[in-house]
């Protein structure tokens, strides 16, 4: 019980900086920490029981990282830019892989809960999950296949340019 009280006090101090939370507490009479914990529990339940789990998971994977990326672009510090750029590389690759495996993955119990936890692990600066995945798997793969990938991209660009030129000629 003591740990819960400490969590509540810490959370209340953090939420004090948000005028909307202060106003919500004043109008409802419910402590800010309880509101935040309730919303968190509701979101976790929706993901756990897959009632809008995909929506919540996508909001967590897109909305916060997008805003954090915006904030990092607006600072002069390049370390946070690298952090978020790395997140987007890993997130993009993860989404491509998920597209091809979704038939199997969606049958996995609590898939969206696992995915949500994974995405949070990826973007939290404390865990640096995206950087770990990038350094251990993605970077070595891309470096060893860079020439082949570049060649394929160049062929695709030429084919697209040719197709566009042919289309324009026909008009």
Percent of the chain's residues with pLDDT above 70: 99
Query: Which range among 13-17, 79-83, 96-100, 150-154 shows the weakest confidence by mean pLDDT?
Result: 13-17
Q: Are residues 64 and 140 in the same domain?
A: yes
Percent of the chain's residues with pLDDT above 90: 45
Residue 69 pLDDT greater than 90, yes or no: yes
Question: Where is the domain boundary, 27, 48, 69?
Answer: 48
Q: Are residues 39 and 53 in the same domain?
A: no
Q: Are residues 25 and 54 in the same domain?
A: no
Q: Are residues 160 and 85 in the same domain?
A: yes
Question: Where is the domain boundary, 33, 48, 63?
Answer: 48
Q: Are residues 91 and 37 in the same domain?
A: no
Average pLDDT for the chain: 89
Q: Are residues 165 and 107 in the same domain?
A: yes
User: How many angstroms separate the CA atoms of 120 and 61, rounded?
Assistant: 7
Q: Are residues 39 and 64 in the same domain?
A: no
Residue 57 pLDDT greater than 80, yes or no: yes
- Please write the tens of the pLDDT for every residue from 86-141: 999 999 999 999 998 888 877 777 888 889 899 999 999 899 999 999 999 999 99
Q: Are residues 94 and 156 in the same domain?
A: yes
Q: Are residues 25 and 73 in the same domain?
A: no
Domain range enclosing 57: 49-170
pTM for the full model? 0.72
Give the pLDDT score at 171.
65
20 pLDDT tier (thresholds 50, 70, 90): confident
How many structural domains is the chain composed of?
A: 2
Q: Are residues 35 and 60 in the same domain?
A: no
Q: Are residues 1 and 69 in the same domain?
A: no
Q: Are residues 72 and 93 in the same domain?
A: yes
């Amino acid at each position: 019980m003591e740990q819960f009280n400490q969590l509540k006090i810490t959370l209340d101090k953090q939420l004090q900086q948000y005028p909307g939370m202060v106003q919500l507490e004043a109008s409802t009479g419910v402590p800010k920490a309880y509101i935040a914990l309730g919303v968190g529990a509701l979101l976790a339940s929706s993901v756990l029981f897959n009632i809008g789990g995909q929506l919540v998971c996508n909001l967590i994977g897109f909305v916060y990282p997008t805003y954090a990326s915006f904030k990092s672009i607006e600072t002069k510090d390049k370390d946070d830019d690298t952090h978020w750029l790395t997140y987007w590389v890993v997130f993009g690759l993860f989404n491509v892989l998920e597209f091809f495996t979704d038939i199997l993955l969606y049958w996995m119990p609590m898939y969206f809960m696992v995915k949500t936890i994974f995405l949070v692990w990826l973007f939290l600066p404390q865990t640096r999950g995206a950087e770990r995945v990038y350094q251990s798997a993605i970077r070595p793969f891309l470096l060893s296949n860079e020439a082949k990938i570049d060649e394929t991209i160049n062929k695709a660009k030429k084919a697209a340019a040719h197709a566009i030129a042919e289309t324009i000629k026909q008009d």
